Amino acid sequence: MPDDSSVHFGQARQRIDGRAKVTGAARYAADEQVADPAFAYLVTSAIACGRIRRMDLSQARAVPGVLDILTHENVGQQAAPPPQMDPTDKTTETLESDRIWHDGQIIAIVVADSFEAAREAANKVRVTYAQERPAATFDSPGATVEVRKETARWKDPKVGDFAGAFAAAPVKVDARYSTPTQHHNALELFSATCSWDGPRLTVYEPSQTMHGNKNNLAAQLKIDPAMIRCVSRYVGGAFGSKSLAAHTVWIAIAARRLGRPVKLVPTRDQGFTIRTYRAETRQHLQLGAGRDGRLIALRHEGWEVTSRPSHFNVSGAMSTTRMYACPNIETRVNLVHADRNSPGFMRAPPDTPYMFALESAMDELAVALDMDPIELRRINDTRTDPTNGKPFSSRSLMQCYDQAAERFGWSRRDPRPGSMRDGDWLIGWGCATACYPSNIGAAAVRLSLTAQGKATVALAAHEIGTGAYTLVAITAARGLGLKVEDITVLLGDSDLPPVPIAGGSNNAASTGHVTDMACKEACARMAAAAVAAGDSPFHGTDSAGLRLENGMLVGDRGAEPLAKALGRVTGGVLEIHSEFVPPGSAPTALQTLYKGVSAFVGGTGRQDVTAFAFGAQFVEIRIHRRTRELRAPRIVSAFASGTIVNATTARSQYMGGVIWGLSSALHEKTELDLRSARYVNDNFADYRIPVNADTPSVEIIMVPEQDTRVNSLGIKGIGEIGIVGMNAAVANAVYHATGKRVRDMPVRVEDLL
């Protein structure tokens, strides 16, 4: 790390929590110590649809060490319905009744003195079911389809006359695509530890929404949220899965019944059904263009699987319709209700599946036009949102393509399918657009500054592996003129001031702005006191011209030590509580924030601009001509995401997304037994993920971009954009290598035989 105290955005800095993580000192939720804990083990349903007729607990209760067994019969009415992804939606239940909504549903919880005893007893619970035939997915008998209703949140963009324009278009692409069910599978499991101290409950649980968990759990338990404290200092991967859990309330109830703490660490396979996942999609994409390549018509229709009661959907056409200039647009989203657990948000929830269809279709259009796919995108690049005419706050898409293409060597590409070879290996080069809306939300922070030049920044933000501790420390050091080492950051505790959910790639923008605001307030207070003091070199000057730098209050007339400047404001520690509300937020943004409800501004929801980050994905695919074995020896990806706070963690986030995009294209698929509506490969042995050998070379280019219209610091989120478009880039490369168009993810050897 730099020796001087000058801190600027964009420098490459080590994580301040890095040593704690690699030495095991960082405490994850299941690591938190509580006195004399009991251990819980989940019993999950063996059928996907029906009811529980009878539960025989006699053998389970006979296991030495068993303390309690929770079922719908003894605790079913002690909790309000489970939390939902959307407050207006419904979701499947757990112990509330005898109804079975999906395979792997929680139907009982065994609590014992040891984990081993709880597990043994759980395996001895005997359940008799009244089984009904389940509907697993698309086309399953009994699955129902409905057109998704538009809401304030979910819109179906429509402009002009698609049908007429498409009919008249001289060049057309009309194709259907699909993406599979995928599960988050973060390394850290979905643990929960609950401990009561009289009427007060403490919950240790990996969380992306500290105040959301606190308020939702309070509603379920029907107690004051002030009586609940949620702690999640570190999260071992989340990707959308660690927001609101249905099982936590039952662990809290178990702890209350026993009068001692209860700890739950579910198994890997249980994680497939007790939390959310990326739902499978089917998509119909139609493009019409002139012979010059300019888009005339675009229609994107999607079908998404959800559970029986839920209307959750991700609605990715809200992104795809904004990528390229087109005067005639039509979209629609359909929901398919099946006997499955409710899906949810998973890294770039709408963009990963829906951009696959658009970017594959754009490649197909380029082939039909005999045009370079980069040139096709250049022709259709736009400075305004085609769905509403608003300007983009910034749009560096073609800069990303140009830099990545040059580094990749795209000019050497022979466009003829199957034309590039290396011995027995067919070589394919593909590219695709990456994008993600730029969001920001209301947030609050508590800042403490001492005369010795030490600061503490406290806010209920979330370290989900993205480097949040370091980002906040850099922002505070920059604003206070201190070294990063002089900043202490406190996160992951619902007793701290609230911030939005760590989702929608808003974390850096939201926490960065509220931290910067607190620092500016600290500087303003010292500056105001300095210009009013007769012993100050700044007496009588304009306080707006003063700043904090290198541990000094600095202005045109010189500088004075921080201790002296601070001493005029307080005799001890300067304490500041700041609340940030982004321009354009609802009047109730702060009120709802303290109630655990996040509301973002940005993306497609702003009145003045459309705010997105953009990128370009390039991949080389090699396919053995005999065995059809696939390899991805190199990837080059370029992204433009406004202000970069920490180049080190930014590169890491981009790279992680890119690798997961490759995984989405070649590896990941949750397999379903269509007869039983059961996940088959619910483990790390059979659920395929990439390893180092699958990704020998991943090069990340960070394209400089300044965007003062997106927000005052110019920060755009980077956590999710990296995954977007890579699945299409791979499919496009496969076509270039073989001449075979794969429209169903993931690409398998059998698709190429």
Residues that are catalytic: 720
Amino acid at 396: S
- Residues in CB range of 417: below 8 A, 6 or more apart: 428, 735, 736, 737, 738, 739
Tokens matching residue 701: 């280019």
User: At CA 274, angle to CA 244 and CA 462, rounded to 5?
Assistant: 35
Is the torsion defined by CA of 140, 146, 152, 156 positive or negative? Answer: positive
For residue 579, the surrounding DSSP H or E stretch is strand 574-580
How far is residue 185's CA from residue 239's CA, in Å, rounded to a whole number?
9
Burial of 226 (0-12, 13-18, 19+ CB in 10 A): exposed
Closest by CA to 583, choosing from 608, 617, 616, 551, is 608
CA distances from 506 to 8, 98, 151, 291, 612 (A): 20, 39, 22, 40, 12
* Three-state secondary structure call for residue 88: coil
- What HEC string does 697-723 produce? CEEEEECCCCCCCCCCCCECCCCCHHH
User: At CA 150, angle to CA 604 and CA 178, rounded to 5?
Assistant: 80
CB 725, CB 706: distance < 8 Å: no
- What HEC string does 141-188 produce? CCCEEEECCCCCCCCCCCECCHHHHHHHCCEEEEEEEEECCECCCCCC
For residue 562, the surrounding DSSP H or E stretch is helix 562-567
Tokens matching residue 384: 């305004």
Closest by CA to 348, choosing from 37, 724, 27, 33, is 724
CB 140, CB 340: distance < 8 Å: no
CA distances from 543 to 166, 184, 555 (A): 61, 51, 9
Residue 57 CA to its chain's centroid (Å): 40
Residue 749 CA to its chain's centroid (Å): 30
- Residues in CB range of 569: below 8 A, 6 or more apart: 525, 526, 529
How far is residue 139's CA from residue 290's CA, in Å, rounded to a whole number?
36
CB 434, CB 320: distance < 8 Å: no
Longest Cα separation, the chain: 86
CB 313, CB 367: distance < 8 Å: no
Amino acid at 400: C
CA distances from 646 to 15, 301, 592 (A): 9, 38, 30
Closest by CA to 332, choosing from 310, 354, 349, 351, is 354
For 399, other C-beta atoms within 10 Å of its C-beta total 17
CA distances from 516 to 471, 525, 559 (A): 11, 14, 22
Instruction: Render 177-224 in DSSP notation, one character per residue.
Output: EEE--B----SS---EEEEEETTEEEEE---S-HHHHHHHHHHHHTS-
Is the torsion defined by CA of 388, 391, 394, 395 positive or negative? Answer: positive
Helices 210-221 and 248-258 cross at an angle (nearest 10°) of: 60
